[in-house]
Structure 1
Amino acid sequence: MLAYAFRRVLSAIPIALIAVTACFFILRLAPGGPFDGERALPPTVLANLRAHYNLDQPLINQYFIYIWRLLHGDLGPSMVIDGFNVSQLIAIGFPFTLTMALTAFVIATAIGMLAGMVAAVYQNKWPDYVLVLAVMIGVLIPNFLMAALLQLWFGVYLRWFPAGGWVNGSWWHLVLPVTVLAWPHAGRISRLMRGSMIEVLGTNYVRTARSKGLGERLVLARHAIKPALLPVVSYLGPGLSYLLTGSLAVEQIFGLPGIGKYFVTAALNRDYGVVLGTTILYMFIILALNLIVDLVYAWLDPKVRYR
């Protein structure tokens, strides 16, 4: 297992390099720049700024300078937010983003698995129809639209929850953002769990267990849940990465102090360092989550052997 994990890490290095290279050149070749503000800078000041950030050099030279710094763990400075480098901005905003995404992940995974099992046990009955309808709403409506609707209904009209902001660290302000993030994730989990559980409940060993007189709860607990979890586990890694990336837009809509506000501002202002640093961070998170999912999958299914 450790040898397989080591090979996966080595195989991910070229993928990471290709992704970094593509992001670097796409950003640098896009129209505009970090110093193209509403107020034009004097030519001397602009030239000094470009020289300070190596923007006066050929593009290929800028690329190799960035890769060399990246290999030494330096994500570079922010070209728009004065006094901060990219690592400091990530250290400030990412813990909040990670906390919110993990909270939504745990809640959505638990609800989705439970809803999928109930829908499979009561297949083609009213609990199945109600649960399928509820989860489909979360899957079909985009998170930015769902965020606006929940803000309007529960934050403005009913005033049950704060419509946005983060005051004095109150977790009450996270109810609506976590709901927006968790709903579609719970819907996908429940659909996977329902289909997998229906398939498992129709297998021969489950029918044999029932014929021996085991109760329905024992059949589910001992024979059905673990094999039914395999498709769900395969999705959990990408699912958590979707929550992390989806939280960028949700944080911006609700005005939360996560990494999303830095990323959106940096993208609008062509702050190359912040956009690249955030992209690299999420890329490595996705690769790490996929590796963990593969290892857990092998633990759940003894028939799986990675060679």
Structure 2
Amino acid sequence: MLSYAFRRVLGAIPIALIAITACFFILRAAPGGPFDGERALPPQIMDNLRAYYNLDKSLFEQYFIYVGGVLRGDFGPSMSYQDFSVSELLAIGLPFSLMLGLVAFVVATSVGILAGMISAVNQNKWPDFSVIFVVMIGLIVPNFLMANLLQLLLGVYWNWLPVRGYVPGSIPHLIMPILILSLPQAARVARLMRGSMIEVLGTNYVRTARAKGLGARLVLARHAIKPALLPVVSYLGPALSGLLTGSLVVEQVFALPGIGKYFISAALARDYGIVLGTTVLYMGVILLLNLIVDILYAYLDPKVRYR
């Protein structure tokens, strides 16, 4: 298993390099620059800024300088936040973004698995139809629209929860963001769990267990849940990465102190360092999560053997 994990890490290096290269050149090809504004800077100041951030060099020289810095763990200075490096800004916002994404991940996974099991056990009955209705709402309505609706209802009209901002240690400020993040992922997990559980409940070994007189709870606990989780586990890596990247928009909508605050403003200001640094950071998280999911899949499915 360790050798397999090592090979997966080595195989991820070319993918990471391709992603960094694509993001670097796409960002540079976008119109505008970090120092373009309504009021043009004097030529001497512009030349000094371009020299300081290596923008006076050719595009390929800039690329190799950036990749060399990334290999050393240096994402360069920020072009829009004075006296801050990209690594410092990411270190400030990352703990909150990770906390928000991980809590939403636990909520979405738990609710999705439970809802999928209830829907599968009660196939074509009213609990099944109710779960499908909620799932469709979570999949159809975009995050930003659902966030605005909840802000209007729960925050403005009913005054149950704070609408924006964050006070350290305040749980009410996190309820709406976590709900918005977890709802679509819980809907997808519920769909996967429902389909997988229905398939497992129709297998021969489950019917044999029922014929031997085992109760419905024992059949689910001993024979159905573990194989039914295989498609869900395969999805958990992309789900968590989707929650972490999706939190960028949610953090901006709710004015939360995560990476999203820096990423959105940096994208609008053409701050190449923060945009690329955030992209590289989340790419590394996604690759790590996919590796963990592969290892968990081998644990759950005894037929899988990595050699």
- Bin the TM-score by the shorter chain: over 0.9
Q: Which amino acid aligns with 1:4?
A: Y
Other-structure match for 1:37 = 37
Show the 5 A alignment for 1:226-265.
226-265=226-265
Please state how far the C-alpha of 1:167 moved relative to its aligned partner: 2.5
Q: Which amino acid aligns with 1:79?
A: M
Please state how far the C-alpha of 1:306 moved relative to its aligned partner: 2.2
Using the alignment, how far apart are the partners of 1:299 and 1:275 within structure 2? 37
Other-structure match for 1:22 = 22
Q: Which amino acid aligns with 2:208?
A: T
Other-structure match for 1:146 = 146
Other-structure match for 2:101 = 101
Other-structure match for 1:50 = 50
Q: Which amino acid aligns with 1:100?
A: L
Using the alignment, how far apart are the partners of 1:294 and 1:70 within structure 2? 26
Using the alignment, how far apart are the partners of 2:132 and 2:67 within structure 1? 48
Q: Which amino acid aligns with 2:123?
A: Q
Show the 5 A alignment for 1:1-307.
1-307=1-307
Please state how far the C-alpha of 1:147 moved relative to its aligned partner: 0.6
Please state how far the C-alpha of 1:171 moved relative to its aligned partner: 1.6
SS in 1 for 2:302: coil
SS in 1 for 2:165: coil
Residue ranges of structure 1 left out of the alignment (5+ in a row)? none
* Length, aligned pairs only: 307
Using the alignment, how far apart are the partners of 1:93 and 1:168 within structure 2? 13
Please state how far the C-alpha of 1:161 moved relative to its aligned partner: 0.6
Deviates more, 1:265-274 or 1:167-176: 167-176
Q: Which amino acid aligns with 1:223?
A: H
Moved over 4 A (4+): none
Please state how far the C-alpha of 1:231 moved relative to its aligned partner: 0.2
Q: Which amino acid aligns with 2:143?
A: N
Using the alignment, how far apart are the partners of 1:179 and 1:54 within structure 2? 43
Using the alignment, how far apart are the partners of 2:103 and 2:96 within structure 1? 11
Please state how far the C-alpha of 1:168 moved relative to its aligned partner: 4.2
User: CA-to-partner distance for each residue in 1:230-264, whole Å, 9 max, x for gaps?
Assistant: 00000000000000010000000011111001000
Using the alignment, how far apart are the partners of 1:11 and 1:271 within structure 2? 30
SS in 2 for 1:217: helix
Please state how far the C-alpha of 1:75 moved relative to its aligned partner: 0.7
Using the alignment, how far apart are the partners of 1:111 and 1:29 within structure 2? 43
Please state how far the C-alpha of 1:67 moved relative to its aligned partner: 1.1
Using the alignment, how far apart are the partners of 2:201 and 2:18 within structure 1? 44
Please state how far the C-alpha of 1:37 moved relative to its aligned partner: 2.1
Using the alignment, how far apart are the partners of 1:108 and 1:238 within structure 2? 13
TM-score in terms of structure 2 length: 0.99
User: CA-to-partner distance for each residue in 1:91-113, whole Å, 9 max, x for gaps?
Assistant: 00011011011111101111110
Q: Which amino acid aligns with 2:103?
A: T
Q: Once superposed, what is the RMSD of the aligned Cα atoms?
A: 0.8
Please state how far the C-alpha of 1:39 moved relative to its aligned partner: 2.3
User: CA-to-partner distance for each residue in 1:202-226, whole Å, 9 max, x for gaps?
Assistant: 0000000001111000000000000
SS in 2 for 1:266: helix
Using the alignment, how far apart are the partners of 1:290 and 1:50 within structure 2? 39
Using the alignment, how far apart are the partners of 2:115 and 2:94 within structure 1? 31
Provide the identity percentage: 71
User: CA-to-partner distance for each residue in 1:47-80, whole Å, 9 max, x for gaps?
Assistant: 0000011100111111111111111111101011
Residue ranges of structure 2 left out of the alignment (5+ in a row)? none
Please state how far the C-alpha of 1:169 moved relative to its aligned partner: 3.5
